[in-house]
Amino acid sequence: MRRVDWTTLPFRILAWLVLVFLAAPMLVVFPVSVTPNRWISLPSGGISFSHYAAVFASADWLSAIGQSVVIATLTMIAAVAIGTATAITAWRMAGHWVIPALRILVLLPLIVPSVVSALGMYRVWVDFGIFDSWLGIVIAHTILATPFVFLTVTASLANTDRRIEQASRTLGAGAFRTAWAILVPAARPGIMAGAVFAFITSWDEIVVTMFVTARHIFTLPRMIFEEIHDNLDPAVAAVSAMMMLVTVVVAAALLWRDLRGTAPTPEKT
């Protein structure tokens, strides 16, 4: 029988209490999403899935979900390409005086408050004629998502032996082929993590989106904001519950895959 470590038990209890405290507000979304009422409230006298049906029957909700998926996917592709190329450049030029300035420039969207960036983008986007356009929203989200890819790829390349690139160049491979065949595979974990962060950043973004869009672009976060602002429709809770459920399923699948990959294999006799 496993003995209880009484010295760490209070800290474990405290950790679980903090976890429950942080998760409780999110868990309230699920009962609210099945309320039979037409306003946001806890169910009383029964449950109803009519708000889920209303989401799938609404062209506005489906359009917002579709736009968010497309914008987040395009943002992820652009951010991964730019962030990976920048991280590889910084890795190759390590020690050069321009690299600290390059890092600050790339990480600037994380430092500057979102509302300040949004105000500047609004002014520039209007002048360039890309306000309230697909190109404008993808560029804006890419600017915000690229720093995450840069950080994760930089971390993956940190322990890469520089002699590998030198050996590749010595054997006749050019700079581009070396980067594609040697450095990109070495940075694959960081690229995958950065892609996830970039997608989530775009999927979740609301402040910049509100400044650079008007009538033609309606992402899911903007739709949720408008619904909460206007009539407190429980369909918002239904959408939130589905998003949380998808997130939990994806996280559980990734965790299960990682556990399978690290599980010890039986030795053959």
CA distances from 14 to 3, 8, 21, 28, 264 (A): 20, 10, 10, 22, 32
What are 85's two structure tokens? 């190329």
Does 48 map to a domain?
A: no
Does 203 map to a domain?
A: yes
Where does residue 158 rank: exposed (0-12), middle (13-18), buried (19+ CB within 10 A)?
A: exposed
Does 25 map to a domain?
A: no
CATH number assigned to the domain comprising residue 162: 1.10.3720.10
Does 154 map to a domain?
A: yes
Question: How many whole angstroms separate alpha carbon 217 and alpha carbon 131?
Answer: 10
Tell me: the pLDDT tens digits for 88-118? 888 888 777 788 888 888 889 988 888 899 9
Does 190 map to a domain?
A: yes
pLDDT of the residue at 55: 85
What are 36's two structure tokens? 């039979």
Does 132 map to a domain?
A: yes
Does 120 map to a domain?
A: yes
Residue 253 or 142, more confident: 142
DSSP classification of residue 243: H
What are 182's two structure tokens? 């040697």
Question: How many whole angstroms separate alpha carbon 269 and alpha carbon 148?
Answer: 46
Which pLDDT band, with edges at 50, 70 and 90, does 126 fall under?
very high
CA-only gyration radius of the chain, Å = 23
Domain of residue 77: give its range. Answer: 60-240
Does 249 map to a domain?
A: no
Give the global pTM: 0.81
Q: Count of domains in the chain? A: 1
CB-based contacts of 97: which residues, under 8 Å, 6+ apart? none
Percent of the chain topping pLDDT 90: 24
